[in-house]
Amino acid sequence: MIRTLLAEDQGMMRGALALLLGLEDDIEVVAQVGDGDAIVSTALETRPDVALLDIELPGRSGLDAAAELRTALPSCHVLILTTFGRPGYLRRAMEAGASGFLVKDGPVEELAAAIRRVLAGERVIDPALAAAALSAGPNPLTQRERDVLAAAVDGATVADIAARVHLSPATVRNYLSAAIGKTGTRNRMEAVRAARQRGWL
């Protein structure tokens, strides 16, 4: 049996996926979590072969959890399953050590096949998304620029952002200015939106 962990914040979707995967002869859902902060500890308890992770979760994102799982439980293969098929997300998932990346609108048979393939050591990526990622190019934002933009998502002031990321207000302004330039936008809120749409945040 392929022991599988399922991380999805929508209870109905999580339950439906678990039910459908449970119908497969060789797949057993051994754990379900609705919060990104519970992924690694639950994986260490249940020792899944494959972890199916959504990206946008309460607490830690699926991408951050994927990177942590690679260190904490190297035997576990990560398959990202998301509504948001953004090229930047795909790149970040691969950098985090994910073995696969699928969007949720595919058939469950495709998902079951992907679970088997990643366990066999293959890399499984949605073909349309792979093509889009290649044409989109790499994320131009530095880690610090991403940190500053992420701290600006709720319309925070420069002083608030500076306190959150432990930088001076002048340095924060420089990073915001660079991020605005790289995203081709007019202000920080537009830069946040553009970076999110491209999967850079």
Residue 187: strand, helix, or coil: coil
Tell me, yes or no, whether 82 and 165 share the same domain. Answer: no
Tell me, yes or no, whether 30 and 83 share the same domain. Answer: yes
Q: What is the pTM of this model?
A: 0.70
pLDDT digits (tens, 9 = 90+) for 13-62: 999 999 999 999 999 999 999 999 999 999 999 999 999 999 989 999 99
Domain count, the chain: 2
Q: Indicate which CATH number applies to the domain containing 98.
A: 3.40.50.2300
Tell me, yes or no, whether 61 and 158 share the same domain. Answer: no
pLDDT at 153: 85
Tell me, yes or no, whether 46 and 102 share the same domain. Answer: yes
Q: Is 79 left (phi over 0), alpha (psi -120 to 50) or beta?
A: beta
Tell me, yes or no, whether 54 and 151 share the same domain. Answer: no
Decide if pLDDT at 131 tops 80: no
Residue-range definition of the domain harbouring residue 157: 143-197
Structure confidence at residue 168 as a pLDDT band (50, 70, 90): very high
Average pLDDT for the chain: 90
Tell me, yes or no, whether 36 and 124 share the same domain. Answer: yes
Tell me, yes or no, whether 54 and 119 share the same domain. Answer: yes
DSSP of 17-42: HHHHHHTSTTEEEEEEESSGGGHHHH
CA distances from 142 to 86, 173, 178 (A): 18, 15, 10
Decide if pLDDT at 190 tops 80: yes
Structure confidence at residue 201 as a pLDDT band (50, 70, 90): confident
Tell me, yes or no, whether 6 and 60 share the same domain. Answer: yes
Residue 145: strand, helix, or coil: helix
CA distances from 171 to 75, 159, 166, 186 (A): 41, 11, 10, 19
Tell me, yes or no, whether 105 and 149 share the same domain. Answer: no
